[in-house]
Chain A
Amino acid sequence: MPTSPSDPAAGYDLAVIGAGPAGLAAAVTAADLGLRCALLDAGPRTGGQYYRHPAPGLGATRPGRLHHGWRHYTALAVRLAAHTRAGRVDHLAEHQVWTAERAEGWLLHAGVGAAAERRATVRARAVLLATGAYERQLPFPGWTLPGVVTAGGAQAMLKSGLVLPGRRIVLAGSGPLLLAAASSLVAAGAEVPLVAEAADYLGYARRPAVPAAVPGKLAEGAVHAAALLRHRVRLLRRTAVVEAHGTDRVTGVTLARLDRDWRPLPGTERRVACDALAVGHGLLPQIELATELGAETRRTPDGAFALRVDARQRTSLPGLWAAGETCGVGGADLALAEGELAAYAVAGRPPSAGTVRRRARLRAFAELMAAAHRPGAGWPGWLRPDTEVCRCEEVTAGRIGEAVDALGAGDARTVKLLTRAGMGWCQGRMCGPAVACLAGGPAAGPDSRPLAVPVPLGQLGRLGPCGRSDGPGPSAGPRG
């Protein structure tokens, strides 16, 4: 059982879930402050989605070339390695936590290995949730064609496998990730004819108005903008891909201008050829481990649900802390600051005033970004009745409309019950926002996902009583 080798019964002072920017910063800072830490992550290497980098076997010579702020990562990685050698941090790679259980502190139940073929239970006094975010998807006709990827997925392919999703790639959707992805793709040699931003805002790429107090963010935007200018990438505002064309694979897209509410304007459609399309509508906090325990949430300006935390990153549940995207999507710099703040708070030490100020500044900027890229209510205007909304269960927009009109489903949960939309493998991560919107309005609360990831039944059944791992299974018959 991979808990603390020195004293497995007592467990760790702090278990950090997620080894992206927030989790890494938290684990090394907490270890600096004398806490014994476990750093759990679903992936084989630290870095999370943001600092995703190629497996050593691929022989990448300059993985940092694809990253803004790579030196932050390498510095953290060096500190982590020192703590790991000294036994202050255990990096538990390929640990997918499926639930957190309260039991004199916390028990984290995880599947271990690339296919969760083994299991582990990690005990800790405090838990920090740094599980990041996943991409918000809005469906459109043709979005299930091969060659249509998410903006984050395109970046991930590039960062981890050094491969491109196509040669001529259109980017569409909304949010700063689009420009970052476009910039990475052109730097890696792809042709990007255009970036279609659905919102009316590309200000951070064009003029230094709003984020005057955030020089780091500005610099990042300027770098992307310069790269895109150099490669003659056109930036279109209030424009969306309303259909992807192709039979075996995407061969082109139809663009349309949008009104203020993201309703496609008739007569503005035009076709653009491409062999790949990367779409993203920003990120959604991945918070189910906390919300299933009853942690309080807040709605961010883009309509997402994030964990409510106080100035010291405490959630509403004693002993549970959160940092980074789980508290509202805001990028790597904010995640680093929040991870550090959380570590100080868990250790009961005052944080540096500079970090507190940096966090406040970056958080304010994140809220502005979220407001600028909030999906408009008119986007379903580009759906057709046969457009698949839930890909896992193959539920079309038409069937969702029937559930709403004929069966009285007025919210996302009821639509799910009556159509199976959101019941498949991804548990609604892909279709959740779209289903909520089609059901007649934003969801009243965060999606319910009692199991954060799928768990093999045999593994569930072999957990020891009270959740201790590796205990013998119950010996009685089926009698409960």
Chain B
Amino acid sequence: MKRASLDVVVVGAGVVGAACAYYATLAGLRVAVVDRGPVAGGTTGAGEGNLLVSDKEPGPELDLALLSTRLWHDLAATLGPAVEYEPKGGLVVAADQPRLDALRTFAAGQTAAGVEAVEVPADALRELEPHLAPGLAGGFHYPQDAQVQPALAAAHLLRAAREAGAELRLGETVRAVRTGPGGEVRGVATDRGELAAPAVVNAAGTWGGELAALAGVALPVLPRRGFVLVTEPLPRIVRHKVYAADYVADVASGSAALQTSAVVEGTPAGPVLIGASRERVGFDRTLSVEVLRRLAAQAARLFPVLADVSVLRAYRGFRPYLPDHLPAIGADPRVPGLHHACGHEGAGIGLAPATGLLISRQLTGKPPGFDLAPFRADRFPGAA
């Protein structure tokens, strides 16, 4: 084993790994980021870049999202316009009165937890979104919702980390996690050699279970497939992140069956993005005509003007999903020196800065200032 010239090896060059590397480097640590693929080659590159508080019920994930919302605001100023940060706000609409009532109750709970949520009566919806379909019962405006271009966000976080001294090792596969006599982490072995470090951060996203297994512990990360439709470039006809209230139920669902609820938004580059489907089908990359049909129909129902617009492409990704829908963040009590930062499901872009900041505080021995207990990696049955 070589002399430890590194303080931490971050495994994964997606947005979460990038944020971990960024904050750890700024905290003065010597960091290497290792990924078997390119920057943003996994779920980050297949995401829409949602920075949402609106879809989260009160609880630990919402607290994390609120912290991240503030951090993204600062990061956008530091990283510059290239990451396409847009604090555009979200608009959640309800198709009928029962759904509106449910949304109102949901929003009240969020407001108590620190979320800004403003009810928008039916007749005022079109002031916010002029092309929205008529006949909706009403909605809520969430000014804190925002968006970034996720691949650019990850790449620029890594660029900033490299400029501050971090080392980026792409196309390099971690084959083993090295441990010492007391079971503590000593580094990793890759297909190119040994990287000695007293800490390893598992930011391997959907493949985080595999990295955990290399360290000898179980972490039940599963893929949850999603498709996004991309239209031809358009002038700004969708101003916010707009979705139907049903989306929240889909996000929280643990069902393996296909769920779709259109989330529609414009982008600075022009195309409108239409997500989001959720299904547990392993790593099957085949295009699903049924998913496309449902997403398209739902989007056209929200924005009838989109019916005549061409869909140029579709892409799919695999959200890293843990059984209770919460990520694994922080030191693993089973393996000293092993830290997890994965399993963020569809919220990884949004939750990345908070995750990176909290990990860097743990790595530097500072109090995290945040209760990480709900995110412990050993919280699942049989994870001894």
Residues of A participating in the B interface, judged by any CB pair closer than 8 Å: 99, 101, 107, 109, 292-294, 393, 403, 406-411, 413-414, 417-418, 420, 423-425, 427, 448-451, 454-458, 460-463, 465-467, 473-474, 477-480
**Are the C-beta atoms of A450 and B315 separated by less than 8 Å?**
yes
Taking each of B260, B271, B292, B308, which has the highest tally of chain A beta carbons within 10 Å of its own beta carbon?
B292
Bound CA span A448–B170, Å: 22
Bound CA span A16–B314, Å: 25
**Are the C-beta atoms of B244 and A478 separated by less than 8 Å?**
yes
- Counting from the closest, the 6 A-B pairs by CB-CB distance are A458-B307, A480-B260, A461-B297, A478-B244, A461-B296, A460-B296
Interface code B225-246, partner A: CB below 8 Å = 1, 0 otherwise?
A: 0000111110000000000101
**Are the C-beta atoms of B45 and A477 separated by less than 8 Å?**
no
- Stretch in B36-44, B52-60, B69-77, B320-328 with 4+ CB within 8 Å of A: B36-44
Q: Does B294 contact A (CB under 8 A)?
A: yes
Q: When A and B form their complex, what is the total count of cross-chain residue pairs whose Cβ atoms lie within 8 Å?
A: 159
A-B contact pairs, 29 of them (CB 8 A): A101-B289, A408-B38, A408-B39, A413-B41, A413-B45, A417-B40, A418-B39, A418-B151, A423-B230, A424-B233, A448-B315, A451-B312, A454-B232, A456-B307, A456-B309, A457-B229, A457-B231, A457-B274, A457-B307, A457-B310, A457-B311, A458-B308, A462-B297, A465-B290, A474-B294, A474-B297, A477-B244, A478-B244, A478-B302
Taking each of B168, B232, B260, B310, which has the highest tally of chain A beta carbons within 10 Å of its own beta carbon?
B310
Given contacts A409-B38, A463-B292, A479-B244, 5 further A-B contacts (CB under 8 A): A414-B45, A449-B313, A450-B315, A457-B274, A460-B293
**Are the C-beta atoms of A457 and B309 separated by less than 8 Å?**
yes
Which B residues, 67 to 120, have Cβ-Cβ distances below 8 Å to chain A?
95-96, 99
Which of these, A451, A454, A480, contacts B294 with CB under 8 Å?
A480
Bound CA span A101–B290, Å: 10
Residues of B participating in the A interface, judged by any CB pair closer than 8 Å: 13, 38-41, 45, 95-96, 99, 151-152, 155-156, 158-159, 162, 168, 170-171, 229-233, 244, 246, 250, 258-262, 269, 271, 274, 277, 285-287, 289-290, 292-294, 296-302, 306-316
**Are the C-beta atoms of A480 and B307 separated by less than 8 Å?**
no
Bound CA span A462–B274, Å: 16
Given the interface contacts A407-B156, A414-B38, A474-B297, does A109 sit within 8 Å of B289 by beta carbon? yes
Bound CA span A417–B310, Å: 21
**Are the C-beta atoms of B299 and A480 separated by less than 8 Å?**
no
Which of these, A427, A461, A477, contacts B312 with CB under 8 Å?
A427
Bound CA span A473–B299, Å: 13
**Are the C-beta atoms of A478 and B246 separated by less than 8 Å?**
yes
Bound CA span A449–B315, Å: 9
The smallest beta-carbon distance between A476 and chain B, in angstroms, is: 10
**Are the C-beta atoms of B155 and A407 separated by less than 8 Å?**
yes
**Are the C-beta atoms of B313 and A457 separated by less than 8 Å?**
no
The smallest beta-carbon distance between B42 and chain A, in angstroms, is: 11
**Are the C-beta atoms of B244 and A414 separated by less than 8 Å?**
no
Which of these, B229, B246, B287, B294, contacts A477 with CB under 8 Å?
B246
Given the interface contacts A292-B286, A467-B289, does A461 sit within 8 Å of B155 by beta carbon? no
